[in-house]
Homo-oligomer: A and B are copies of this chain.
Amino acid sequence: MEFSALETELDSRGADAFVHVGDRFDDDLGYLTRFSGPDRDYAFVYDGEAVLCAPRLFEEQAEQEFSGTVVSAAEQEATAAGERAAELVSGTVLVPQGIPHDAAVWLERAGCELESTDVVSRMRVRKTEAEIDRLRTVQEAAQVGMARAETVLAAAGAEGDSLTWDGGALTTERLRREANAAMAREGVDPAGNTVIGAGETCADLHFTGDLPIERGETVLLDLSPRGPEGYYGDLSRTFVVDSEGGWERRAYIAAERAQDAAFEALSEGAGTVASTVHEETAAEVGAYGFRPDGSPGFIHSTGHGVGMSLHEAPSLRADDELEAGTVLTIEPGVYDPDEGGVRIEDLVVVREEGFENLTDYPRSLVPRKR
């Protein structure tokens, strides 16, 4: 791990140390330490040297995973993670604004003056090639999950309007389990956020319920598995079995063209203004007769950063210039609570010249055996 950004931040702020405290679910800590840690608090300290206050029973694992110095619980008087960090620092200490309050209080009681910093989320924006390789690998596993779900849809039969598969009604939950099992077999974790909507529930961006799937309605699959090193993939496709055209056909073409417009905007590479990508995309949705900024139409942003968090900086609504190495979703969608929802989502990395699509999965409204 490379801590020069922390060094630069300490210098420019005239601060003595950086401290963060949290558990395995804190992605900033995971990024800084590469420590897969426990579900209780531990501390990271940087004051020119990187130190991890390892939790009890996790000393050996911390030594293996963390590149800096590991301090075991037995070496310290204090027990709480924030108190342990406070034993190691003094003066002006930079902390992320969401550091646990008790840790902040321990540091203040020890005489430190706290100032907040967003340096870690800034560090995380620009991925190294090693990080991009991890993201690509997880995205490939997401594609295997999508292929499984698409294959099931392609093989589905029908009883009246309801789809059937493998001897029973085909439901969003059955489809989710098929996709999740396929991803688990690839060595990634479905991560509890496989969203599959059918028909009207496609317009609900976070639907995770169980519904029978019908002929002619949109089936929207959004797969966001997490790999063993903590990086996410993010892939969405929309299918219709026995489509009769109409709304979903128009919405699909709008989403495809909108994604192409985003790619066109991104083809200028590093330096492209983030919000330009969103504006070009939304305008294309509008050109197809859907609302570019509300329901029914395009109701969310074109994309977000992906890394150790599923949603991280930058936002494609921001006016910042995109940096090379930024990994983003490009996910235009068209939603109508009366009709259904269509979204097409790829994961891309911004390069100095142009961009690279980390996704290699066909766009097709009609499901095919993959």
Q: Is B173 a contact of A177 with CB atoms below 8 Å? A: no
User: Does B187 contact A184, Cβ atoms closer than 8 Å?
Assistant: no
Report chain B residues within 8 Å CB of A114: 101
Is A124 among interface residues, defined by CB-CB distance under 8 A? no
- Bitwise interface map of A from 99 to 125 toward B, beta carbon under 8 Å scored 1, else 0: 111111000000000101000000000
Give chain B residues whose Cβ lies under 8 Å from the Cβ of A226. Answer: 192
A345 CB, nearest partner CB in chain B, Å: 16
Q: Is the CB of A177 within 8 A of B187?
A: yes
CB distance from A275 to the nearest CB of B (A): 17
In the complex, the count of this chain's copies comes to 2
The answer to whether residues A228 and B192 also contact, given A25-B25, A36-B208, A181-B181 and a CB cut-off of 8 A, is yes
Question: Which residue on chain B has the smallest CB distance to residue A56?
Answer: B300
- Assembly CA distance A173 to B228 (angstroms): 11
Give Cα A183–Cα B183 distance, bound, in whole angstroms.
12
**Contact (Cβ within 8 A) A300 B98:** no
Q: CB of A353 within 8 A of chain B?
A: no
Does chain B have a CB within 8 A of A291? no
Given contact pairs A99-B101, A178-B185, A184-B184, enumerate 20 new A-B contacts (beta carbons under 8 Å): A25-B25, A38-B206, A39-B309, A39-B310, A101-B103, A101-B114, A102-B116, A104-B104, A173-B187, A177-B184, A177-B186, A177-B187, A180-B184, A180-B185, A180-B189, A181-B182, A181-B184, A184-B190, A189-B190, A208-B228
A369 to chain B, nearest CB (A): 20
Is A78 part of the contact surface with B, judged by Cβ < 8 Å?
Answer: no
Interface centre among A25, A61, A103 (most CB of B within 10 A): A25
CB pair A40–B98 under 8 Å, yes or no, is no
Tell me the smallest distance from the CB of A6 to a CB of chain B, in Å. Answer: 19
| A 83-103 contacts with B by CB, 8 A | 95, 97-103
Instruction: For A80, give the chain B residue with the smallest CB separation.
Output: B97
| 10 residue pairs, one from A and one from B, having the closest CB atoms | A180-B184, A25-B25, A97-B102, A98-B100, A101-B104, A181-B185, A184-B184, A181-B184, A189-B192, A181-B181
Q: Kindly state whether residue A130 has any CB partner on chain B within 8 Å.
A: no
Query: In the bound complex, what is the Cα–Cα distance between A104 and B208 (angstroms)?
Result: 33
Closest B residue, CB atoms, query A104: B101
Residues of chain B contacted by A190 (CB below 8 angstroms): 184, 189-190
Which of chain B's residues have a CB closer than 8 A to the CB of A299? 57
Contact call B184/A98, Cβ cutoff below 8 A: no
- A191 in the interface, Cβ–Cβ < 8 Å? yes
Q: A269 to B186, alpha carbons, bound, how many Å?
A: 43
A321 at the interface (CB under 8 A from B): no
Q: When chains A and B are docked, how far (Å) is the Cα of A25 from the Cα of B57?
A: 23
Q: Distance in Å from the Cβ of A31 to the closest Cβ of chain B?
A: 14
Asked if B100 and A99 sit within 8 Å, CB to CB, the answer is yes
- A208–B98 CA distance with the chains assembled, in angstroms: 29
User: Beyond A99-B101, A184-B180, A189-B192, is A204–B39 a contact (Cβ under 8 Å)?
Assistant: no
Considering the complex, which residues of chain A in the window 168-215 have a beta carbon less than 8 Å from any beta carbon of chain B?
Answer: 173, 176-178, 180-187, 189-192, 204-206, 208
A311 and B40 form a contact (CB under 8 A): yes
Within 8 A of B (CB), among A305-337: 309-311
Q: Please give, as numbers and ranges, the residues of chain B lying within 8 Å of A279 by CB-CB distance.
A: none
Assess the A58–B192 pair: CB atoms within 8 A. Answer: no
Chain B residues within an 8 Å CB radius of A101:
95, 97-101, 103-104, 114, 116
Separation of A226 and B57 alpha carbons in the complex (Å): 23
